[in-house]
Structure 1
Amino acid sequence: MQIQIYHLQNSRSQRIVWLCEELKLDYELITFTEYKQEQEMQTHPHAFKKFPTVAFRKNEQDNFSILTEISAITDFLCHVHNKLNVNICTDLEEIKYFYYWKNFADASFMPNLALKQIFAQIVQYTPFPVRLIAKFFKYAFDQNYLNAALQQQMQLINQHLQQHTWMAGAQFSNADILMWFPLSACQQLSNGFQSFEAINTYLTRIESRPAFQTACLKGQWSTSVFKNYWSKAN
C-alpha cells in the first residue's frame, strides 16, 4: 500500500506519523508549517484542508483514496496491518480499557483543551478597548467549568496509570498513541497539571520508544513551540 500523510507541524497529526513508525510502514510525509500559507495549502487534497489527512492506494494504477479524522485513520491503519489493537484473546477488562481510552482522547479530553485555546485566542484578537470583557468571560468559564473538568480528567488518568503500564493495561496500543497529545498539551497549561507522577512516568515511557523519537524527527516536532502554544492557553 502506498501511503501519503498530510501533516501539520506541531499539531495532533504528529500522532499519525508516530503510528506509522510503530507499524513500520513506508510512507511519504508531506509537512505543512502552518494553515495560513495559501500557496502551500493548494496542494492539500482534502476540500476542508484537514490535518491529518491520509491518501492511500493499493496499486500504482489506482487513484488515491482520502481519509481524515484521526480516530478513523488510526483504526483503519491498525485494522489493515493487524497491529496495535488489543488482541481478541486479551482479558475483557483490557479490551474495555482500550476502547474507552481510545475514544476518550479526542471525544472528551481534547475538546476541553480546544476550548482553552479558543477562549485564549478570543482574548488575544479582541480589540483593546473591549478586551477586558473577553478576559472576564474567559476567566469565568475557566473557573466555573474548564479548570475543574481538566483536573478531574487528569486525576482519572493518573489513577488508571498508577495501576497499569499502558492505557489498555499490559500492552502498548493505538489508545496510547491517541492519548499522548492531549496529555502532553494539558501539562503545558499550568504547573498544577505537571504534578501527576504516574502520568509523568507514562509520558517518559512513551518518549523513550524508538518509533516515537524517529517520528519526532521526521515530523519536525518542536517541544519548545508546542510548550509555548499551549502555555498561552492558560
Structure 2
Amino acid sequence: MITVHHLEHSRSQRVLWLLEELGVPYEIKAYSRDPKTMLAPPELRAVHPLGKSPVIVDDGVTVAETGAIVEWILERHAGGRLAPPAGTPERARLAYWLHYAEGSAMPPLLLKLVFMRLATGVPFLLKGLVGAIAGRAQSSFIDPQLKAHADYWEAELSKSEWFAGPDFSAADIMMSFPLEAAASRGGALEGRPHVKAFLDKIHARPAYRRALEKGGPYAYAD
C-alpha cells in the first residue's frame, strides 16, 4: 500500500486527491506545521533529507516532488486513467502542465508569500524600511508576474474545459494548487471567469471532497 507523508495546508493535498480519483488504496502519515514558523516539522527529514512534503513510499520506493509522484502513480497505478493517450497533443500538454505547475507557476507565488511576511519579526525601527522594500518588490516584479500567469491560465482555460484538453486529467490536479494559492493571495479570480469556473468544478468533485476529509486542514479550498 502507498504511504503518503502528508503535511497540512500543503501541496501534498493533490496527491491524496489523485489517489481518491483513481480509487487506489493508501494510508496517510500526517504532519502538522510549526505554529510559529509554519514550516514542516523535523520528523519529515527522516523520510527525505530535505524534510519536505509530499513524499510517498510505494513498495519500498521513496518518491518526492509532487510532479514526480504524480508521474509515478500514473505509470504504476492508473491503468491509462487521468492521462491522454501517448503520442497525442493532449499527452504533451499533460507533461507540460505537470512541469509548469511547480517550475513556473509556484516561484512567484512563493515570493509573494515571503515578501508578505518579510516584516514579521524584524525590529520595530526597521519595519517601515523593510515594509517599503517588500512593497516595492511586490508592486514592481511579483504582482506583474502573478498577473501574467493568471492571464495565461484564463486564456488557456478559455480554449478547452480542462488544462490538457477536453477531458479532466492529472494536469488539472497538478494545477489546482497554483490556482488555489493565486486565488488566495494573488487576486487570480478577479476578472477571470474561466479560472473561477475551473476552481468551482474541481472543488465540487467527490474525490476532491473525500481527499479533504481525509487530509485535514487545507486553507485553499472553499
Q: 1:148 to 1:208 in 2, by over 3 A?
A: same
Q: Say whether the 8 Å CA contact 1:79–1:85 is kept in structure 2.
A: no
How many corresponding residue pairs?
A: 215
State the AA in 2 paired with 1:188: S
Q: Which moved more, 1:28-37 or 1:116-125?
A: 28-37
Tell whether 2:57 aligns with 1:55. Answer: yes
1:28 aligns to what SS in structure 2?
strand
Tell whether 2:106 aligns with 1:105. Answer: no
- Return the alpha-carbon distance in structure 2 between the equivalents of residues 72 and 89 of structure 1: 20
- Return the alpha-carbon distance in structure 2 between the equivalents of residues 104 and 173 of structure 1: 15
1:232 corresponds to which residue? none
Q: Say whether the 8 Å CA contact 2:189–2:196 is kept in structure 1.
A: no
- Return the alpha-carbon distance in structure 2 between the equivalents of residues 192 and 76 of structure 1: 30
Gaps of 5+ in 2: none
Q: CA deviation at 1:191?
A: 4.5
Q: CA deviation at 1:192?
A: 6.1
- Return the alpha-carbon distance in structure 2 between the equivalents of residues 66 and 101 of structure 1: 23
2:169 corresponds to which residue? 173
Match for residue 200 of structure 1 among 176, 181, 196:
196
- Return the alpha-carbon distance in structure 2 between the equivalents of residues 192 and 168 of structure 1: 20
Gaps of 5+ in 1: 58-63, 228-234
TM-score by length of 1: 0.84
2:127 corresponds to which residue? 131
Q: How well do the aligned residues superpose, as a CA RMSD in angstroms? A: 2.1
1:124 aligns to what SS in structure 2?
coil
- Return the alpha-carbon distance in structure 2 between the equivalents of residues 14 and 192 of structure 1: 20
Q: CA deviation at 1:121?
A: 2.1
Q: CA deviation at 1:46?
A: 2.0
Percent of pairs with identical residues: 28
Q: Say whether the 8 Å CA contact 2:83–2:91 is kept in structure 1.
A: no
2:11 corresponds to which residue? 12
State the AA in 2 paired with 1:54: I
Q: 1:194 to 1:188 in 2, by over 3 A?
A: farther
